Amino acid sequence: MSKRKSEAPATGSTDLTSTGLLWSEVPGSPCPYTEWLDGLHGPAKDTMPSVDQFPIPEALLALPVLHADRPRRSKPMAGVNGATQRLADCRPGAWLISPFTGWRWAKWPNGEVGWLSADTVLPDVLRVRSRNDIH
C-alpha cells in the first residue's frame, strides 16, 4: 500500500471519494488529484498576520474575482474546489499554489476564491502550503 493510501480515511462513510470509490481502490497516480479535489488535506492551518497587521494586497483589490483569462473546464473546476477547501479558514489575501496543476488561487476580499495569473505578485507572508504537516 502506498503512503498516500495510508493517509486516506480509514473507516466509516469518509472512506469514499466524492465519486463514490473507496480510497483503497484509488490508483496511485490519480490519488493526489482525488485528494485535492475532495479536500482530504482539510483547511490550512498556516499562521498568518491579521488584516490589521498586513492589509489585503492591492492586486486582489484591483483584480476581478472571475479573471477574464482564467482556465476553464473540469481541471480548473477541480483546482478551485481544492483551493476553496484549503483556504476555507484563511483570511482574505491568503493564496496558494495547487499541487495538482501548479496554478495559483487566492481568497478575495469578498471571501470568494479565484484564479491568479502567473504575473500577479502577492506577498509570501500570505502564502498557504498545499498540505498540513503530517507528523
pLDDT digits (tens, 9 = 90+) for 5-57: 334 444 343 577 766 777 777 776 666 666 666 666 667 777 888 989 999 88
- Show the domain range for 34: 3-38
Say if 93 falls within a structural domain: yes
| Rounded mean pLDDT, 72-80 | 63
Q: Would you say 84 and 41 are in contact if contact means Cβ atoms under 8 Å apart?
A: no
Is 78 part of any domain?
Answer: yes
In a domain, 69, yes or no: yes
Q: Is it the case that residue 88 has pLDDT exceeding 80?
A: yes
132 lies in some domain:
no
**Is residue 88 in a domain?**
yes
End-to-end CA gap in the chain: 19
Spatial CB neighbours of 98, under 8 Å, sequence gap ≥ 6: 36, 79, 82, 83, 104, 105, 130
Query: How many secondary structure helices (H) and strands (E) does the chain include?
Result: 4, 3
Same domain, 71 and 112: yes
Q: Is the pLDDT of residue 110 over 70?
A: yes
Based on the domain organization, do 68 and 110 belong to the same domain?
yes
